[in-house]
Amino acid sequence: MKSKIRYIFLLVPISIIVFFAYVISQSQNEASQPLNLELPEFQLQTLDDKTLSEKDISSGTYLINVWASWCITCRVEHPFLIDLKDKGVPIIGLNYKDNKDDAINWLKNFKSPYEISIHDFYGTLALDLGVTGAPETYLLKDGIIVRRHIGELNIEKWRQDFAEFF
């Protein structure tokens, strides 16, 4: 009987290790993170020389897509964003640390999926949002950032994390 009881004490550390291994493997698969971050204050120029602030997009549901003309994965992601646009999903571009002319040419060459594209040359708004690079996609719902996806947005990630909001 005692020999059986002692195995319980071996089982404790093993189950802890298995539990943490599972948690870590799940968190590595999960590139999308739920957030609850108020849209930071900003006032920036768009690529078509309009001024946009957080108040202009504080109501409604939008995707904010971080992109740049120097970003190769953004080119891979682009057809999917066009599909979303055609389905009526409003996407705001956040042009990240990019040369303005290059960005405008990129949109001319490949067609723009964005309703409007903010030119964040210094990456100030991006830093306030917690951007680590491009591409990244944020879900903005009534002035609150509720989702973030790091890397290419594709149909799987869209269905898994974003589709329910539109």
Partner 1 sequence: MQSFSRKYLIVLFFLFHLDLSANDIYEFKDSYQEQRFFSLIDEIRCPKCTSGSLASSDAPVSKDLKDRIYFMILDEKSDQEIKDFVIQRYGKQSDYNPSFSENLFLWLMPLIFFISFVIFFGLKKRI
Binding site for partner 1 (CB under 8 A): 2-3, 5-7, 9-10, 12-13, 16, 33, 37, 97, 123, 126-133
CB of 2 to partner 1, least distance (A): 6
Q: Which CB, 90 or 130, lies closer to partner 1? A: 130
3-state secondary structure the chain: CHHHHHHHHHHHHHHHHHHHHHHHHHHHHCCEEEEEEECCCCEEEECCCCEEEHHHHCCCEEEEEEECCCCHHHHHHHHHHHHHHHCCCCEEEEEECCCHHHHHHHHHHHCCCCCEEEEECCCHHHHHHCCCCCCEEEEEECCEEEEEEECCCCHHHHHHHHHHHC
Q: Which CB, 37 or 116, lies closer to partner 1? A: 37
Q: Which CB, 3 or 109, lies closer to partner 1? A: 3
Contact at 8 Å (CB) between 125 and 97? no
CB of 68 to partner 1, least distance (A): 11
CB of 23 to partner 1, least distance (A): 11
Q: Which CB, 7 or 29, lies closer to partner 1? A: 7
Q: Which CB, 3 or 26, lies closer to partner 1? A: 3
CB of 110 to partner 1, least distance (A): 24
Structure tokens, 28: 């590595």
CB of 85 to partner 1, least distance (A): 27
- Residue that is written with structure tokens 């869209």 in the block: 158
